[in-house]
Chain A
Amino acid sequence: MTLHLAILPILIPMIGGLLMLLPPFAGPLRYQYRRAGALFLMLTQVAVSVYLMYVVVQNGAIMYAVGDWRPPFGIILYVDQLSAMLVALTGFLGLAITLYSFAGDDREGKYFHPMVQFLLVGICGAFLTNDLFNLFVFFEVLLIASYTLLIHGGGKQKTAANLHYVILNLVGSSLFLFALGTLYGITGTLNIADMAMRVTQLSDGNQLIAQAGGSLMLIVFGLKAAMLPLHFWLPQTYAVASAPVAAMFAIMTKVGVYCIFRVYTVIFGEQAGELADMIQPWIWPLAILSIVAGTIGALASPNLRTLAGNLVVVSVGTLLIAFALRTPEATAAGLLYLIHSTIITGALFLIADMLGQQRGKALDYFVIARKMKQQALLGVMFVVAAMAVAGLPPFAGFLGKLVVLQSATNTDYTAWVWSIILISSLATIVALSRAGTTLFWRNTPSHDAAESPGISKWQLGGTGLLLIASPMLALFGASVIEYTNNAAEQLHDIPYLLEVMNLQGDAQ
């Protein structure tokens, strides 16, 4: 059990998802079985990933050689504190959206729960693998699951948005393979740790090619992460997806961000000789412009979902700033912010959906509409989410932004980082308070709200789970910060990685 612990977060949803396609669970009338199965799988996944996190903290990073092919030859799964944390976060978000979908969203198509499981396979695999080609494969797994989930429920808008999303990502996959081919041709390895050693030993001409391959890969990760100028697909796509799907997608941009952190810290990090920190000059302006573009988009959004989508872009920009600072402290701050922003943007999508249910045809658009049935309840949830996402105390968003700002002091970029993050926070507050004012206080007087459906206990449970996480993160802030600090140090500690991989032998 513990021997194969590292691969369990991939195997559980994969086998579970496959089983859910088979007779006891298949068929439109057996949805209760599927719900029970999905809930069981999600709980198992959360339990396993938390245990994995515990084991990694106790015993250090785990190297799992699939099929016992030793590095650098086989496919290696590598679980350090960072990967374990992100797998646990994925499981937690998955649990929340599964609960939310029990309210009825999952019955719009037969394959909702199996597809969410396959999405988990892809996301967890991408977090756990230490092999670039394997990363590509898991990207494709998560993408094909996300294609089908995006179109879940059907409708014109979803088809149109999905077509853009699919084509864009197929082009992205081609670019990924070009980049992989280039890097493999130069370094002769696909193992991230092994490649980190090989790039230091390249000749001048080959370094140039490796740089081209690495930069090409940044485009791919940037597309996944919705980094400017590759973010145009995001607000539209997230706005049309059904609520639980959009909430689950909140972690998918973070997969791109994680890959940027991993690849450009380990392979092209500070120890990479001539190629050290080669993308840092690119990341700076792109990160700042992502925040600017996301903030302007948030101010201009016509409905709450688009607003949440634009806030995802802002959070990606903030994370990239944390990356561009290139210190373990900044990375730790970024990780703290990552956990929090994923959970809260997910919650915002769910809240937007519940608001829309009770406002008739106005949905979550910022127009005058009838009064909501459960105005007070929704209002409280919206205020909590809005304060957390904008970074106001006492929620963890405040903590996350504070730590990012702190890590940027005494660097060359202090003025840039402080002004851009603070101005964008202010603009976010303006956008959210404008949204809240229209949604909750500007009602048509006469309409009877009684006919709109109430919020089901499942919806409340799913959203509540996400919302409670924010004050919890702040409450246990010290231990969370300690954990992310250790995770960041482990990420930056390349000799430790090589030692775990047993690769230091042929370093020289």
Chain B
Amino acid sequence: METVYVICVGILTFCGVFLCLRGRTFSVVVGLTMLSYAVNLFLFSSGRLSLDGAAILGMADKYADPLPQALTLTAIVIGFAMIAFVVILALRARADLGNDFVDGSEPLDSDKLVKPNRGKA
């Protein structure tokens, strides 16, 4: 179980970091979402992974650490609000700046990358 969990968190983090480094706000927003998922899973695992454990003492033989669950819940709420804010901000930037680039303008050489000169010579 731990191995699968670790791989999941790792892949999510990797995708998140990769997407955050992209030039357009859309991918960056998706990247931030991925990162916050990864963070939530990571925080949850900080109380150790255990199956069939209740978070309340005396309800079961085994019990799980309740604090990381509370932390994750808080982190989810905050992360969700922040993602909502950045989506609105990205839309506003799209309207104000006229494009979807994080830097507010198209990088100089991106024309060639996006629209390769097909058919000519």
Contact = CB atoms under 8 A, between A and B. Distances in A.
A453 interface: no
B50 interface: no
A159 B43 contact: no
Interface stretch (A174-182, A330-338, A462-470): A174-182
A171 B96 contact: no
Contacts of A159: 89, 92-93, 96-97, 104
Nearest to B95: A159
Interface string B86-103: 100110110011000011
A375 B47 CA distance: 63
Interface string B15-41: 010001000010010001001101100
- What 10 A-B pairs are tightest by C-beta distance, nearest first? A185-B46, A160-B104, A181-B46, A177-B39, A159-B96, A181-B43, A174-B35, A184-B46, A174-B39, A181-B42
Interface string A139-157: 0100010010001000110
Nearest to B75: A177
Contacts of A160: 93, 96-97, 103-104
A190 B68 CA distance: 11
Contact of A180 (B25, B43, B47, B103): B43
A163 B32 CA distance: 13
Contacts of A184: 46-47, 67-68, 71
Interface residues of B, number: 36
Interface in B47-80: 47-48, 67-68, 71, 74-75, 78-79
Contact of B78 (A137, A147, A167): A137
Given A133-B71, A174-B36, A181-B45, A167 B28 contact: yes
Contacts of A30: none
Contacts of A171: 20, 32, 35
Given A151-B89, A174-B35, 15 more contacts: A137-B78, A140-B78, A144-B81, A159-B96, A163-B25, A163-B89, A163-B90, A163-B93, A166-B85, A171-B20, A171-B32, A174-B39, A178-B39, A181-B39, A181-B46
Interface string A326-362: 0000000000000000000000000000000000000
Nearest to A182: B46
Given A180-B43, A181-B45, A184-B68, A173 B25 contact: no
A162 interface: yes
Contacts of A170: 32, 35-36, 82-83, 86
A426 B16 CA distance: 44
A442 interface: no
Contacts of B78: 137, 140, 173
Contact of B102 (A163, A173, A181): A163
A434 interface: no
A165 B30 CA distance: 17
Contact of B85 (A147, A177, A181, A182): A147
Interface string A177-211: 11011101100001000000000000000000000
8 contacts: A156-B97, A160-B93, A163-B93, A177-B39, A181-B42, A181-B68, A184-B46, A190-B67
A457 interface: no
B97 A167 contact: no
A447 interface: no
Contact of A177 (B42, B83, B89, B102): B42
A210 to B, nearest CB: 13
B89 A162 contact: yes
B28 to A, nearest CB: 6
Nearest to A173: B82
A178 B17 CA distance: 14
A177 B25 contact: no
Given A180-B43, A184-B46, A167 B20 contact: yes
Contacts of B82: 140, 144, 170, 173
Contacts of A185: 45-48
Contacts of A164: 102
A261 B85 CA distance: 31
Contacts of A173: 78-79, 82
A177 B43 contact: yes
A144 B81 CA distance: 9
